[in-house]
Amino acid sequence: MPKHFLSLADIDASELRAILDEAHRIKKARQGLAKGRLDPDAPFKGETLALIFEKSSTRTRFSFDMAMRQLGGSSITATSHDMQIGRGETIEDTAKVLSRFVDGIMLRANSHETLTTLAQNSDVPVINGLTDYNHPCQIMADLQTLEERGGHLKDMTLTWVGDGNNVAVSFINAAAKFDYRLRISCPDGYTVPDQTLEAARAQGATIETITDPLKACENTDVVIADTFVSMGDTDAKKRLSDLMSHQVNDALMNAAAKNAIFLHCLPAHRGEEVAPSVIDGPQSAVFDEAENRLHAQKAVIRWCLEA
Ligand code: CP
Ligand code: NVA
């Protein structure tokens, strides 16, 4: 069975810990190297990762491509419109064909089911580059960012504020694995899926849902925001009006612990889910967070591709 990276809920805590340790090691090992230079131990000479996008991407696209270059391999990027899946070829057949050509597949999919169908039919590892349900690579980079700023995840409280979306789901999935406390603050109608919460709690996660964002941010170590209108959401106007009560602003950051860290996976919409003073202020870690997509994903690719 290939080693797929589809959801943080499905991977053992010890393996996820090892991936995060590897991400730190990989980042340190190439300090001072030009961006296009190989890693000192580039292990994937001659290996290729397919990068397939059903929706837009800046960070995921460039970080995966650079990751494969630095690891000594290469990547092939295509949008679904460039491929026959855009004209109705089945995802099952696509998986079987790509398995004959490449060593791994990263997919950004509209529907999570497309991703799981691809994985079920693939002979090579499949990596989740975001679906409508979750975004596991993002959370590995986020946790790397917190740890490199000196945080011990076991001692930290993280607070998600806004839409209970795909990124929120991966924070829930990771809570039991890395043992941080999680608070989730979403307005009615935008809460995270009950089943995801229940499954995480059954695995031992400590997760509170607190509708009032000010209360949810009290003394928290990390405040996390994401767009109010995710890719695929069609009701932008309604969402913006319903979710504005959960904008991360100075009042919320002031309620949080002194020196609390602000995270946002980007792309950001200043004045919507986050005030400019917060995302561009001294507590924001968003560009380290974006950079860490590269390092964390190299560790994920190694976990998937190394025998
Ligand atoms: N955070 C993130 O996944 O960004 P992209 O949509 O640009 O890949
Ligand atoms: N929740 C956002 C994340 C983008 C990286 C979306 O799905 O559009």
Instruction: Provide CB contacts within 8 A for 242, sequence distance 6+.
Output: 187, 189, 190
Give the pLDDT of residue 160. Answer: 99
Give the pLDDT of residue 73. Answer: 98
Helix 112-120 / helix 91-101 crossing angle, nearest 10 deg? 50
List, for residues 78-91, the tens digit of each pLDDT value: 999 999 999 999 99
Instruction: Provide CB contacts within 8 A for 149, sequence distance 6+.
Output: 261, 285, 288
List, for residues 197-217, the tens digit of each pLDDT value: 999 999 999 999 999 999 999
Give the pLDDT of residue 49. Answer: 98
pTM of the entire predicted model = 0.98
Give the pLDDT of residue 207. Answer: 98
- DSSP, residue by residue, 273-303: TB-HHHHTSTTB-HHHHHHHHHHHHHHHHHH
Nearest CA to ligand 2 atom 1: 230
Give the pLDDT of residue 307. Answer: 76
Instruction: Provide CB contacts within 8 A for 106, sequence distance 6+.
Output: 49, 50, 51, 52, 60, 64, 126, 127, 128, 129
Could you say which residues of the chain have pLDDT below 70? Answer: none
Does the CB atom of residue 128 touch ligand 1 within 6 A? no
List, for residues 119-163, the tens digit of each pLDDT value: 999 999 999 999 999 999 999 999 999 999 999 999 999 999 999
Give bridge partners of residue 181 from the DSSP assignment. Answer: 157, 206
Instruction: For residues 122 and 116, give the distance between their C-alpha atoms in angstroms, rounded to a whole number.
Output: 10
Instruction: For residues 251 and 214, give the distance between their C-alpha atoms in angstroms, rounded to a whole number.
Output: 8
Mean of pLDDT over the chain: 98
- Residues with active-site annotation: 108, 135, 138, 226, 265, 293
**Token pair for 292:** 């860490």
Distance 196 CA to ligand 1 centre (A): 22
Nearest CA to ligand 1 atom 7: 58
Instruction: For residues 284 and 188, give the distance between their C-alpha atoms in angstroms, rounded to a whole number.
Output: 27
Give the pLDDT of residue 38. Answer: 97
Does the CB atom of residue 231 touch ligand 1 within 6 A? no
Specify whether the CB–CB gap between 139 and 167 falls below 8 A: yes
Distance 227 CA to ligand 2 centre (A): 7
Q: Which domains does the chain have, with CATH numbers?
A: 8-135+293-305 (3.40.50.1370), 150-284 (3.40.50.1370)
